[in-house]
Amino acid sequence: MQTDEIDDLVEFSRLLGADPTLVLHGGGNTSVKAPWVDISGKEIQALYVKGSGWDLATIERQGFTPLRLARLIELLELKNLSDQQMVRELSAARLDTDFPQPSVESLLHAYLPYKSVLHSHADLLLTLTNSRDGVKHIQQAFGNSVVVVPYVMPGFDLARAVVHHWTDQSHDATIGMVLMNHGLFTFGETSRQAYDRHLQLTDCAQEYLLQIPKLKFKLNINVNPSRAITLELAQMRRMISEIGGRPLIVSRHVDQLTLRFINRHNLEDLATRGPLTPDHVIRTKRSPLVGRDVHRYADEYKNYFEKNQSRARTEVTMLDPAPRIVLDRELGMLAIGIQSKDAQIAFDIYHHTMSVISECEDRLGGWAPLETHHLFDMEYWDLEQAKLKLSGQTPSLAGQIAVVTGAASGIGRACAASLLANGAAVVGLDISADIEKSFAGPAWLGYRVDITDSDAQTAVFDLAVERFGGIDIAVLAAGIFGNSTPLAEVNKSEWSKVMSINTDAIVFGLRSLHPFLARSPVGGRVVIIGSKNVRAPGLGAVAYSASKAAIAQVARIAALEWAPDGIRVNTVHPDAVFDTGLWSEDLLAQRAQKYNLTVDQYKNRNLLGIEISSELVANVVMQIIGPAFAATTGAQIAVDGGSDRTI
Ligand code: ZN
């Protein structure tokens, strides 16, 4: 297949996007100037530029919107153009309206007199520009091979500033352009050339940095994620969620880079000067909370909003005042978001930020990012807020954290799938090794654990809190049936095994979960998977029936004792759910025979004559943890198709 300059652009954009030291989470943009053939066969000079909603790491041809180049050049002649006007004009300059809205930096790409243009927020570049005497460092590192543009907010004004500085500074050997406190542009006759120049300049920045000796400081710390830490973490999450007006995910990080950073003597001053590049502000807020005083942070945020409100170009409503990054010498770094992917983005961005700040401090004489008012402009710029809105509707359980036992198969797995589908972060436990890969994505953590080892089970709950900040929901679905034996022949070890999994593990699991559920910002909820056997025991199932009856009673005690903590505890009693690990073909045949039925008759042996699936049980569980059951605790809910033995 023949490739063209757009294929090349895709290839090198992906290379740029795949390197997190150059581009993070949707940052950066790229373009190529190439012809567009319209429906009448006429060739038009076009700018193919990254469309919004695309990530450079995964961009495809259809992510590059073709714009009429001549029109863009015309627009650059204007004296003024508001954001709304610019967005409308860029939209109207599309040569095919099936393509997405083009980047807000399109005019700048159009102006640069090269075929291919690549733009990133390279860490190394930002290290140089965000230091005291940033311009001097840039000049020393790059000589006159780059054009230097002081900070201007992206959009029309930036494009105009670029025209001005380009005219003054560019010459035949110019290979790049540095936007102070923002990022790097390189260009060339091909995307490969522009990419090579990107690497050439970042290598150059690295060389420059490394020849400056680094200040050193000693670090003596010990990180031990103990129960005391996870309890404080759950408490912090509750406060942060209350201030944020919704449950939030709070992930704890204590890697070496983070620990070194939070142990700097001037941490508070350093961390509150500003972000790496302005568009990070929508992910991390303008500065982290240093320490734990969430209320003070929220007050300061409100003041900042009130002070700067009049600067906004449009009517603005205050965003929630909760921090997105917390730096605390004992807790480490907490990265916060509505969902775990948002917390992950905030973490990635701040992790790079700490690394750049450290370099600026240790080699370049000090960290000097943008001033607050520029950040407000960016945070409340409707074009930036639109990026967040692009990520779509927030699902009903966003920000909530669930643990599910027995999550590798059957009812547990179906519950985990529903919880994830509704936006919860889920930690699954199972004895099967499949658990680790049962689901994928940042909202899932699977641990292989034997829940009869209560210390091991507790350790997993602590890990869940470290990763997501707390536990709001527990679905306790792990269970075994055991061998069918008449009471007169019951075997002690078999009896103990069934009791230890179906009863003891849940009792001690609940004991360990209680302090987290009590700290849930939205009220803890427990659903225990019981069995119809509690009210209608089965022949030969003495251990199973007794263990399930015991746990149903435990659930009622929990409902009584934990109501003052706002925790609801309910039990679901399914019957004859045959798509679970409990049922083997043999067992099914054996049970059917016991009742003189065929396997099919046995499966639908209920008053309604319907087959009960794990998914159906999971749907009931989802309702119970939802608002419809807000007033229900201590309930025993049958999901059995109706039984003449229990009604
Ligand atoms: Zn940029």
Q: From CA 414, how far away is CA 278, in angstroms rounded? A: 42
Cα 283 to middle of ligand 1, angstroms: 15
Cα 15 to middle of ligand 1, angstroms: 17
Q: From CA 423, how far away is CA 398, in angstroms rounded? A: 5
23 by DSSP, 3-state: which?
A: coil
Q: What is the pLDDT of residues 15-66, one digit of tens each?
A: 999 888 888 877 889 999 999 998 999 999 999 999 988 889 999 999 999 9
Higher pLDDT, 10 or 392: 10
Cα 130 to middle of ligand 1, angstroms: 15
Cα 255 to middle of ligand 1, angstroms: 28
What pLDDT, on the 0 to 100 scale, is given for residue 483? 86
Give residue 595's pLDDT band: very low, low, confident or very high (50, 70, 90).
confident
Cα 221 to middle of ligand 1, angstroms: 37
Cα 119 to middle of ligand 1, angstroms: 7
Provide the pairing of β-strand 444-448 with 568-574.
unpaired
Cα 127 to middle of ligand 1, angstroms: 15
Cα 392 to middle of ligand 1, angstroms: 23
Task: Return the half-sphere exposure (C-beta side, CA atoms, 13 A cut-off) of residue 252.
Answer: 26
Cα 205 to middle of ligand 1, angstroms: 18
CA-wise closest residue to 278 among 341, 214, 357, 353? 353
Cα 531 to middle of ligand 1, angstroms: 57
Cα 154 to middle of ligand 1, angstroms: 7
Q: What is the pLDDT of residues 549-573, one digit of tens each?
A: 999 999 999 999 999 999 999 999 9
Q: What is the pLDDT of residues 113-125, one digit of tens each?
A: 999 999 999 999 9
Phi-psi bin for 23: left (phi > 0), alpha (psi -120 to 50), beta? Answer: beta
Cα 187 to middle of ligand 1, angstroms: 15
Cα 28 to middle of ligand 1, angstroms: 5
Cα 435 to middle of ligand 1, angstroms: 40
Cα 120 to middle of ligand 1, angstroms: 6
Q: From CA 126, how far away is CA 644, in angstroms rounded? A: 72
- Residue 404's DSSP bridge partners are 428, 475
Cα 166 to middle of ligand 1, angstroms: 17
Cα 192 to middle of ligand 1, angstroms: 20
- Residue 336's DSSP bridge partners are 250
Q: Which helix (H) or strand (E) holds 359?
A: helix 340-363
Cα 90 to middle of ligand 1, angstroms: 17
Q: What is the pLDDT of residues 327-348, one digit of tens each?
A: 998 899 999 999 999 999 999 9
Mean pLDDT of 378-400: 77
Cα 328 to middle of ligand 1, angstroms: 30
Q: From CA 124, how far away is CA 495, in angstroms rounded? A: 64
Cα 395 to middle of ligand 1, angstroms: 30
CB atoms within 10 A of CB 280: 26
Cα 103 to middle of ligand 1, angstroms: 10
CB atoms within 10 A of CB 215: 10
Cα 378 to middle of ligand 1, angstroms: 12
The whole-model pTM stands at 0.84
Question: DSSP per residue over 288-316, as a string?
Answer: PEESS-HHHHHHHHHHHHHHHGGG-SS--
CA-wise closest residue to 31 among 197, 196, 203, 185? 185
Cα 277 to middle of ligand 1, angstroms: 8
Per the prediction, the chain carries an average pLDDT of 91
